Structure 1
Amino acid sequence: MNRAEREAAVRRVMERTPPPVPAELHPDVVRRGSRMVRRRRIARRLAWLLLCAAIVAFVVWAVRVQPWVEPPSTTTPPLTNW
């Protein structure tokens, strides 16, 4: 098949009328779709909440521990030549 034949075949498939959809299917699809949207919205908000909580926890830890400061020396140099 060359390009023109493939395009013609695709156009024929796309121009066909779709099979009829049962009338009782529409309310079920709408209900399921709205439920999916609601769940995704809740999951997205929960993910943002967890991310913000993790950032706040990290900032609080960093302020308290101060990992950028060099720890104090635990030994003292020997005192000689006094």
Structure 2
Amino acid sequence: MRRDDSILTQFVDSVFSLFRLAEFEILFVLFFIIAYVIFKDLIISWFGSISLIQLLYLMGFLGTPWTEEEHRMFLLGKIYNYGVFD
């Protein structure tokens, strides 16, 4: 960076140097954000409206000690708060 560069040029250069430094981490997080958006859209098109808790359950991140009836009610959207946030 030269001393006679404008402030805007110095700012842009610093942003690009930060991106080069953290390129992998930025792309890693971006990949998961894009994958979440695409996966959620696909699930909504298959099941209709779905909450994040239901999505995590369907993806296998949340297990359940429920009975068969409670499990069916959850998938139908009739159980929303089941103790995860208590």
Same fold (TM over 0.5): no
Name which structure has the greater RCO, CA cutoff 8 Å, separation 6+: 2
Q: What is the TM-score normalised by the length of structure 2? A: 0.32
Greater Rg, structure 1 or structure 2?
1
Q: What is the TM-score normalised by the length of structure 1? A: 0.33
